[in-house]
């Protein structure tokens, strides 16, 4: 899944293991939860880590929600759940890969 290259401008904070933000493994990089969205370091700046297209996660039998055992990550107007090394977001009766 590819992400859009949306640079987060005027970002003064440096993310890393001790920065105080939740670190979320995401494919070949780590996102950091910051102000309700996710940042990833890219070529000396930070991007908003957002999927480029709609990617439905097929055959997902687990129901995410409060107490489901997966880390909840606030993401814009919804909550993603960390599951098997990626983020799931509820959408129209299924989960999307984020």
pLDDT, one tens digit per residue, over 1-32 is 444 545 556 667 788 888 888 888 877 888 88
Provide the residue ranges of all domains of the chain, joining segments of one domain with +: 6-51+68-97
In sequence order, the 6+-apart residues with CB closer than 8 A to the CB of 52 are 1, 2, 3, 4
Q: What is the pLDDT of residue 87?
A: 76
Average pLDDT over residues 73-97: 79
Q: What is the pLDDT of residue 8?
A: 57
Structure tokens at 66: 């409060």
Residue recorded with tokens 């990626």: 86
For residue 60, the 8-state DSSP code is -
pLDDT band (50, 70, 90) for residue 55: low
Q: What is the pLDDT of residue 10?
A: 67
């Amino acid at each position: 899944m590819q992400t859009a290259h949306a640079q987060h401008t005027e970002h003064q904070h440096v993310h890393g293991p001790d920065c105080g933000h939740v670190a979320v493994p995401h494919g070949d990089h780590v996102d950091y939860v910051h102000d309700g969205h996710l940042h990833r370091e890219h070529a000396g700046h930070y991007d908003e880590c957002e999927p480029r297209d709609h990617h439905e996660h097929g055959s997902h039998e687990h129901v995410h929600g409060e107490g489901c055992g997966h880390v909840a990550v606030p993401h814009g107007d919804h909550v993603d759940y960390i599951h098997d090394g990626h983020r799931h977001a509820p959408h129209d009766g299924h989960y999307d890969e984020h």
